[in-house]
Amino acid sequence: MRKRTIYSAKIRETEVTDKAVFRQRRSFIKQAAALGLTGSIAGGVSQAQAGTPLQGPIIKSPYSIDEEQTLKETATTYNNFYELGLNKGDPAKNQNWLKTEPWTVQVDGECSKPGTFNLEDILKPHAIEERIYRHRCVEAWSMVVPWNGFALGDLLKRFEPNGNAKYVAFTTLYDPDRLEGQRSRVLEWPYVEGLRIDEAMHPLAMIATGMYGEEIPAQNGAPMRLIVPWKYGFKGIKSIVKITFTEEQPPTSWNLSAPHEYGFFSNVNPQVNHPRWSQARERKLTGEAAGGLSALFTAKVDTLMFNGYADEVGSLYSDMDLAKYF
Ligand code: MTE
C-alpha cells in the first residue's frame, strides 16, 4: 500500500515463509504439543503458532463459504499491520509489541449507552461463530480465512445508537512507546476506519476475536478487529479501542493518506482499478504450495464483485455510482 511497495507479481523472498520452514515448524509444534510444551517454549513458538483454543462451543455460520482455506501458518505470518512493522513478516515477529491486557473499549457519540468497557464485558454476551470468509487485500492478494467472532451489528445495538448515528468510526490502540510502527510517518496515527451505519449493521460485518478455532494473534488484530468481507482488507481495522457513532462520515487512515487511491467505501470491485494496478484479478494464498516461495500464491484468478458477496450486499449500494463512490 505504501507508495514504494508497488504491488508486483514478484514476491520478495523475505515476505513469504518457505514451505520447508512451514513443514519444519508444523512438525515441531506437533512434537511440542505432544510433550505438553507449547505454552512454555520461550521464544521458540510464537503465540500465533501455538494459539490458545477458544472457550466454549463454536457455532457454524450459514455465511461460511466452501472453499479451500489458507493455511493458518500463512494467514498469521503474511500480514499488514503497520504498527508492528512495514514488511509482511514483521507483525508476526514483533507481536510482543502489542500489549492486550488490560484492554478497554470506549464507546461514544450518537448513542444512549456510551461508556468505557472492559474487553470481557464487551465480549461476554456474544456466542462465538466460525465464519469462513474470502479476504481480499487492495494489494491484489487474497486468502480464505475461518474467523471466529460475532455480528458487529449485535455489538453496536447494545449501545443504542440514535437517529443521528449515520456512521460508525473505529480506532486502533495508540501506543507509540511499544508499537514502534507508530513512530514512522507512513500513516497518521492512530489507525482509524469507518462504515456507514447500514453497512455496519449488515449481518456479514463481524468482530473477530479468533481465527482457526484459536484466539486471534496480535499480528491479526488481537484482541478484537473488524472484518467486512465485501470490502478491501484495509477496512478491517485491527486492535480496536474505540467505537464512535457519528452523523458525519468519519476520516479513514488510507483515505487520509492517498484520497485518490483509497475511497471511504472501498468495496471490492474488479471494474475500478487502483490508479497504480489492476483490480480485475488476484493471487490467492492457498494452503500447501507446490514448491518454492512464490508458489504459495496461486495463478491469478478473477476478482468477484463485492468479493463474491454481491447477492448479500449489492442492495446497500443500489443508488450509488460505484465508480464515483469507490
Ligand atoms: N489495522 C491496523 N490497525 N493497522 C494496519 O496496518 N492493515 C489493514 C487491515 N487492518 C492494518 C489494519 C490491511 S491493509 C489489511 S489487508 C488487513 O488488515 C490485513 O489483515 P490480516 O493481516 O489479518 O490479513
Per-residue pLDDT tens listing for the chain (326 residues):
775 443 333 333 333 333 333 333 333 333 333 333 333 322 333 344 447 888 888 999 999 999 999 999 899 999 999 999 999 999 999 999 999 999 999 999 999 999 999 999 999 999 999 999 999 999 999 999 999 999 999 999 999 999 999 999 999 999 999 999 999 999 999 999 999 999 999 999 999 999 999 999 999 999 999 999 999 999 999 999 999 999 999 999 999 999 999 999 999 999 999 999 999 999 998 765 544 455 567 778 999 999 999 999 999 999 999 988 89
Identify the burial level of 249 via C-beta atoms within 10 angstroms of its C-beta, where 0-12 means exposed, 13-18 middle and 19 or more buried.
Answer: middle
Contact 287/68 with Cβ under 8 angstroms?
yes
For atom 9 of ligand 1, the residue with the nearest CA is: 234
pLDDT score of 324: 83
Q: Domain 30-252 class?
A: alpha beta
Contact 326/265 with Cβ under 8 angstroms?
yes
- What number of other Cβ atoms are within 10 A of residue 262's Cβ? 22
Pocket test for ligand 1, best of 81, 224, 228, 232 (most atoms within 8 A of CB): 81
Contact 31/45 with Cβ under 8 angstroms?
no
For atom 8 of ligand 1, the residue with the nearest CA is: 234
For atom 13 of ligand 1, the residue with the nearest CA is: 234
Ligand 1 centroid to Cα of residue 36, in Å, is 32
Cell representation of residue 150: 460475532
For atom 18 of ligand 1, the residue with the nearest CA is: 234
Ligand 1 centroid to Cα of residue 219, in Å, is 9
Ligand 1 centroid to Cα of residue 238, in Å, is 6
Angle at 217 between CA 302 and CA 107, to 5 degrees: 95
Ligand 1 centroid to Cα of residue 143, in Å, is 13
Q: Could you identify the residue written with the cell 507481536?
A: 95
Ligand 1 centroid to Cα of residue 134, in Å, is 14
**Cα separation, 250 vs 198, whole angstroms:** 15
In the 8-state DSSP scheme, what is residue 274? B
For atom 11 of ligand 1, the residue with the nearest CA is: 81
For atom 12 of ligand 1, the residue with the nearest CA is: 237
Ligand 1 centroid to Cα of residue 221, in Å, is 8
In the 8-state DSSP scheme, what is residue 269? -
Beta-carbon-side half-sphere exposure of residue 35 (alpha carbons within 13 Å): 10
Identify the burial level of 43 via C-beta atoms within 10 angstroms of its C-beta, where 0-12 means exposed, 13-18 middle and 19 or more buried.
Answer: exposed
In the 8-state DSSP scheme, what is residue 160? -
Identify the burial level of 57 via C-beta atoms within 10 angstroms of its C-beta, where 0-12 means exposed, 13-18 middle and 19 or more buried.
Answer: exposed
Q: What are the pocket residues of ligand 1 if the criterion is a CB atom closer than 6 Å to any ligand atom?
A: 1, 79-83, 137, 172, 191, 220, 233-234, 236-239
Nearest to 47 by CA among 18, 80, 72, 83: 72
Q: Does the model's pTM come out above 0.75?
A: yes
Report CA-CA distances (Å) from 253 to 102, 152, 171, 184, 261: 25, 20, 10, 14, 12
**Cα separation, 28 vs 45, whole angstroms:** 9
Q: Ligand 1, residue 79: give the atom nearest the CA.
A: 22
